[in-house]
Amino acid sequence: MNPVKIGVIGAGSISEMHFDSYKNNSDVEIYAVCDLNINRAEEKAIKYGANKFYSDYQELLALDEIDAVSICTWNDSHAEISIAAMRAGKHVLVEKPLCKTVKEAEEMQKAVNESESKILQVGFVRRFATNTQVLKKFIDSGDLGEIYYAKASCLRVLGNPGGWFADKERSGGGPLIDLGVHVIDLCWYLMGKPKVVSVTGNTYHKLGNRANIEHKSYYKAADYDSSKNSVEDLSNALIRFDNGASLLVDVSFTLHAQKEVMEVNLFGEKGGATIEPKLEIMTERHDTILNSTPQIDTLTFDFVKGFQNEINHFVECVQGKAKTISPVEDGVEIMKILTAIYESSETGSEVTF
């Protein structure tokens, strides 16, 4: 079988995970790279053995040889580039969040529907983590019963990456759209993707980026500039679904918290589960409450394995061997939830669907 020829658009930090995972897949040829910063595109092309590199994504999409693209650009160009790629007849793996607005998301879905059986996979990488996939098997077998509540916290004490992440125009928002997207999707996916009926949310812009803090390091975007920050530093929300289930979430770039928190929990009628910080399943047997820890290589989210699984799955979908578990319509639903949280925060009232 011919190798699947891949183009990567956006050659910054996260593109490394895409490049490495494609490189490890023997069915793939990394064919071309594009970045607004041509030096970065060239550097990655040399590193990963791509033939061609560009600063204009249209030139990459014009290559007939390319079957599929990974889009790893800032959030503000996900919709435009994905739609152009679909129209150019390419399969698309687009990083999370799908885009910035519901309108853009619906336009992307329309482009997928109009394409000739091209797939668009959304980069909800946590769906591909081993701990998620193991738990999903338990849930699908009914071990947790009906899941009626989920609770997720992803709190950074100090971790506004700055650069485009802190520029609402390019990112669409702060920790909610950057971190919340992962944990909200993870819960929603494992809850069986119920339909959202209402959202109440808050965002706070109280602490800024705290660039004054010394002696504590954290991830910073390449173009970090402490004078610019237009995104929230904390967000929380209560999301209700049509089956009566609810999801409570809070996320921060910075907060006066004692330590970083990454906790994701699901609660069902027959059992509960903690996915992060490590997978554990709670049940009741013979009048006793039982906590079970699966014997698997990694109980927490394994970043490298998660991306490898995501990319391998995408390649199989491109080859027609599988149907994506992270389709565009799921990205649209998550955009509805995220934008409703921002709207609810602005209006001070609940958003209903």
User: Which parts of this chain interact with ligand NAD (CB under 6 A)?
Assistant: 9-15, 34-37, 40, 57, 72-75, 77, 95-96, 123, 125, 164, 178, 221-222
94: which residues sit within 8 A by CB, 6+ positions away? 70, 71, 78, 81, 82, 120, 121, 122, 123, 331
In the complex with ligand NAD, which residue's Cβ is closer, 77 or 312?
Answer: 77
Closest distance of CB 34 from ligand NAD, Å:
5
Closest distance of CB 306 from ligand NAD, Å:
8
End-to-end CA distance of the chain: 46
User: Which residue number places its CB atom closest to ligand NAD?
Assistant: 12
Closest distance of CB 245 from ligand NAD, Å:
25
Closest distance of CB 36 from ligand NAD, Å:
4
The sheet carrying 4-9 orders its strands as: 52-54, 28-34, 4-9, 68-71, 91-95, 120-123
In the complex with ligand NAD, which residue's Cβ is closer, 91 or 96?
Answer: 96
Are the C-beta atoms of residues 273 and 149 closer than 8 Å to each other? no
In the complex with ligand NAD, which residue's Cβ is closer, 144 or 176?
Answer: 176
In the complex with ligand NAD, which residue's Cβ is closer, 164 or 253?
Answer: 164
In the complex with ligand NAD, which residue's Cβ is closer, 219 or 353?
Answer: 219
Q: How far is 271 from 265, CA to CA, in rounded Å?
A: 11
In the complex with ligand NAD, which residue's Cβ is closer, 200 or 229?
Answer: 229
Buried b / exposed e over 254-280, threshold 16 CB at 10 Å, is bbeeeeebbebbbbbeebbbbbbeebb
Closest distance of CB 220 from ligand NAD, Å:
10
Provide the token pair at 75: 């959030």
Q: How far is 345 from 227, CA to CA, in rounded Å?
A: 25
Closest distance of CB 203 from ligand NAD, Å:
18
Closest distance of CB 71 from ligand NAD, Å:
8
Q: Is 111 helix (H, G, I), strand (E, B) or coil?
A: helix
The total number of residues written for the chain in this structure: 353
In the complex with ligand NAD, which residue's Cβ is closer, 15 or 200?
Answer: 15
Alpha helices in the chain (DSSP H): 15-23, 38-48, 57-61, 78-87, 102-114, 130-140, 168-171, 175, 181-190, 303-318, 328-347
